[in-house]
Every structure is written in structure tokens, then in C-alpha cells.
Amino acid sequence: PYGAISWPFIKQAVRQILFYAGHNIFSSYYSDLMEVEHFRTIYHMFVAALCVFFISTVAVNFIDQGRLVLELDLLFYSFGQLGTVTWSWIFLFGFTLFVPYATVHYWGSLYPKSKHPYLMSVCLASIYGICNICAMGVFPIYIVLHYKLPPASSFIVTLEQVRLLMKSHSFLRETVESVVQKKKQLPKLSSYLYFLFCPCLIYRDSYPRTPYIRWSYVAKNFAQFLACVFFIYFVLVTLCIPVFTNMSKEPLSMRTLVLSIFHSTLPGNDVMHVHFADHILCLFALLLNAFAEMLRFGDRMFYKDWWNSKSFSNYYRTWNVVVHDWLQYYVYRDILWLFNRRFREGAKLAAFMVSAIAHEYSLTLSLGFFYPVLFFVFNFALNDNRKSPLWNVLLWTFLFIGQAIQLCLYCQEWYAQIHCPLTEVCILCYS
């Protein structure tokens, strides 16, 4: 009926109320929407598009080379050196698991007995900070640069570095109060280990759990995740690489740049469609849902209805609730507490900047050059008070064009680095 409040809106409101008290059991938008037949039709359209890309690629290879072989050279290159990625991840995970946990328990055992607890705390925090910088800061950068990891493998290392840093920071922040108040009950290692794997960045001693694991649901999520990876691969191979491989060899002019941007609109739109799909279909929702199901993690509101946003600021807040919760807890609210609840706009800007810097850091290390296109996109926001559907159309228009511009500029720079290699290496060479 007209004027009725939708179930997703009620879920958002209830979760916002329970957010400060703790987590609760919520199903994801993906699970709710897949119960609607009209949405399943949209999902089937993405499956059909993947089939079309697959048939097209096989047909082109058969006509050009006379063999029915699917070329996956780019995919294997992007995920190369997985052995190096694996042992470096084991080191990062082991450090994150044992060092923060041991630090908290050692601090908790000394703090009540110490005659100078604050001096002891500062010394212990300094030692931990130095170890953390070396192991979680310098080590991943060294691995990526020394072994010259390809893009996808570099993304795995850098994103895991950022994720584990956020997890350990949350664990330390949430346990400080227990130590300072001299509570005897400190976190258990099993609780911290569960937290490191569960799809959440806010540490709690316990989380709401579902009664059982649906292994068929887990397998379905991983299968669709792989299908979406192949979808992106086919978009790049079919629509992007042929355009930009030869373009970087030609003299660059304003006409060439503008035409390449508009030529990138189609693949950019396809990537944007995958961006829409990965939050309600695959790369984001399905991966987190798979791990949540295996761990019986109950709170699965990993995103809100970002596709209905009428401003970029609301879009950034709703497309990734997991990261938004962390930024709200440990950046926005901490800055408000530090300045006695003043400078709200400054605290909001700081949260956006932290997120933008983390994304730009991952892109710079993974691609091998500093090209802050995404950084400036993060700082473009519209007024939150827009109500007309026209603003949602405008936002989607900017998203489509923005994806095309980013795709064009990053691909151009990638091939420029290949065709015009640097003769001298310096700090400014990455810009």
C-alpha cells in the first residue's frame, strides 16, 4: 500500500538503534532481494551477459586462431606468485594474531601492580608501535616491491594489510577500558581469532550466531564470486585492452583523450554494472556472506540501499557499512570526543580522507604508480538534503562517467609505463 514503510528501511532503522549496543542478527539485502522474482530476473541478465562474453571470446579465438581455447593469460598473470602471497599473508596474520593479544595481556598483568602505570603504558605502546610499523607497515611494501608482484596479487597483500591493521586497532581500542579499569577478565584468544576471520571490523567478545551452516549456500556464493571475476576479466580483455594497447603508442592530444574517455563509457558502464552486482550479487556481498555463513555470523547488513542514494556522501556511507562502522567508531567519534563534540564537519572530512588515503595507497602499490584519480573522486560530494529522484539519476550519471574516466586514465598510465619505461628511478617517478 502507498505510504507503507519498506522492510529494508525498518532493518536499517533497527540496526542503527542497536549499533551502539552491539550486533544483532540481520540478513543481507542480497538474501532478501533474491526472494523477489523481479530481482532474480536482473540477476539472470548478468548471468546471460557472462555467457555472451564467454561465447564471444571463444568465437573470436576460434576465428582468429582456429582453436576453441579460452585465453586466460592475463588472469594467470594478474594472480601470479601466489606462493609469495601465501607465506607473506601467513606472516601478517600470525603477527596480528599473537602480538596485539600478547601485548594486551602483558599490559593487563603489569598495569594494576605498576607504580607508574602511565609511564609503563607509554613505553609498552612505543615498543608495540615500532614493531607494528616494521611488521605491518614496511614488510608488505617490501614484499610487493621486491618480488614485483602483479596487480591482483599486490591487491591481496595490501588489502589484507589494511584489513588486519583495522582489526588489530579495533581489538586494542575495545580492550583498553578493561585494562585501565583493572578488570580481571581479558579477551580470550578464541574470541580474537574468530574476530580476525568474521566479516566485521568492530571487536566484540561475542557475536550473534546462526544455528547451523548451509554449505550449499557457501558453495553457491563462491561459485558466483568466481563467475563475477571472469565477468570483469572478459570486460577488460574484450573492451579495454584492444583500445588502450595501441593508443599509448600514439601522440597524446586533447581529442584523443576525450574520445578515449567516451570509448571507455561502455566498458566503464559494464564495470559499474559489476560494481552494482558485486554489492548485491558477488564480489562484496557474496564473499562476505560466504565467510559469514561458514562462521555462523549473524549480522549480515554489509551494505545498505546505496543504489537509491541522492548524494555521493550518502553513497559513500551506505555502499560499505563494514568499513563505515569502523570509520564512524574510530575516526569520526574519536575526533568528536577529542574536540569536545565540536568540528563535526572536520570529523566527517577526516573519515573520508582516511578512507581515500587507504584506497589510494592500495592502488599505488598494486599498479606501481601514483595516480590520485580515485583520491579526488572520494572528496567529491553532493548535498545530503536532496529529495528529488532527479538527484539519483544525476548520481548514476556521474558514476557511469566517473568509471569511464577512471578506467581510461588508469589504463593509459598502465600502458604508458610499459611503452615508455623510466630511465631513472626516484621518489617522484611514482607520480
Q: Give Cα 48 distance to the centre of its chain.
A: 27
245: left (phi over 0), alpha (psi -120 to 50) or beta: alpha
The DSSP secondary-structure symbol of 116 reads S
Tally of residues, the chain: 431
| Candidate list 105, 169, 263, 359, residue with the active-site label | 359
* CA gap 30, 199 in Å, rounded: 15
Task: Answer yes or no: are the C-beta atoms of 81 and 149 closer than 8 Å.
Answer: yes
Under 8 Å between Cβ of 179 and 107:
yes
Nearest to 257 by CA among 238, 272, 244: 244
Q: Does residue 305 sit in helix, strand or coil?
A: coil
d(CA 232, CA 277): 11
Contact between 359 and 288 (Cβ < 8 Å): no
3-class DSSP state for residue 297?
strand
Q: How far apart are CA 182 and CA 111, in angstroms?
A: 8
Q: How far apart are CA 90 and CA 94, in angstroms?
A: 6
Listed residue (80, 403, 53, 408) closest to 230, CA to CA? 53
Let me know if 419 is a catalytic residue: no
Q: Are 403 and 240 in contact (CB under 8 A)?
A: no
**Residues belonging to the active site:** 359
